[in-house]
């Protein structure tokens, strides 16, 4: 095999090392952190109630809480899988931040009007639907998400909300680690194949031409 090109090999080596480092980071750092976080969330429903937070704090997910909706500004729907739609009210409030979102129940009716005038709501803290496009979720996976209060008692005419579950919080760090290791392996294989092809071309170019046939 001819001399291995130095600069491309260094570049590919750095890229492969970076991929392996990212895989190890996901496996040895991010995964244990997420598992500890999920363990905390699993215990949150049994902990004492807290005031609804003014700013997003994911350590409070699934904690019991209460707030007062002075007036619903709007009522929208968001997909809820088998439950149909989550009915979410955006409330005017004088205490719980600039706008309090309350999930007041679920319904299978995609268009029916929901009459709810607000008031005191008790329930648990959960993530509000994420309005960001998919590309933003991929490029900014750790951006703070808005929280909302999920009512323990549904509004009139609505079905109860599903209880909190840590299954709604993804834990994909092992899969991320495997992906980075696969990327590193594929990059290494492709580069080795490219070097072999380069070597074969060089060997063919170096072979002398066969002598002309004798007359």
Burial level of 188, CB count in 10 A (0-12/13-18/19+)?
middle
- The pLDDT value recorded for residue 182 is 96
Nearest C-alpha neighbor of 27 from the set 196, 184, 158, 168: 184
- Which of 145 and 214 is assigned the larger pLDDT? 145
Least confident of 15-29, 30-44, 65-79, 127-141: 127-141
Token duo for residue 135: 């590309």
Query: pLDDT tier at 21 (50, 70, 90 boundaries)?
Result: very high
CA distance 126 to 3: 59
- The pLDDT value recorded for residue 204 is 76
Reported as type and span, the H/E element at residue 77 is strand 71-79
CA distance 99 to 155: 19
Q: What is the pLDDT of residues 118-161, one digit of tens each?
A: 999 999 999 998 765 544 444 455 667 889 999 999 999 999 99
Nearest C-alpha neighbor of 147 from the set 81, 98, 209, 200: 98
Q: Report helix, strand and coil shares of the chain as percent, to nearest 5.
A: 40, 20, 35
Q: Answer whether residue 109 shows pLDDT above 60.
A: yes
């Amino acid at each position: 095999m001819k001399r291995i090109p130095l600069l491309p090999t260094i570049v590919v080596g750095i890229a492969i090392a970076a991929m392996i480092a990212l895989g190890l980071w996901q496996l040895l750092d991010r995964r244990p952190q997420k598992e500890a976080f999920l363990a905390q969330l699993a215990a949150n429903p049994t902990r004492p109630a807290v005031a609804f937070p003014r700013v997003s704090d994911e350590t409070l997910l699934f904690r019991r809480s209460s707030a007062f909706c002075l007036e619903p500004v709007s009522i929208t729907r968001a997909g809820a899988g088998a439950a149909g739609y989550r009915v979410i009210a955006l409330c005017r409030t004088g205490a719980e931040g600039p706008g309090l979102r309350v999930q007041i129940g679920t319904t299978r009716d995609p268009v029916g009007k929901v009459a709810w005038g607000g008031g005191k709501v008790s329930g648990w803290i959960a993530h509000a639907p994420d309005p960001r496009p998919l590309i933003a979720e991929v490029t900014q996976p750790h951006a703070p998400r808005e929280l909302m209060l999920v009512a323990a008692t549904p509004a009139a005419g609505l079905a109860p909300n599903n209880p909190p579950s840590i299954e709604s919080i993804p834990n994909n760090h092992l899969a991320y680690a495997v992906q980075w290791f696969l990327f590193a392996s594929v990059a290494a294989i492709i580069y080795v194949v490219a070097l072999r092809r380069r070597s074969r071309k060089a060997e063919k170019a170096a072979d002398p031409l066969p002598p002309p046939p004798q007359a």
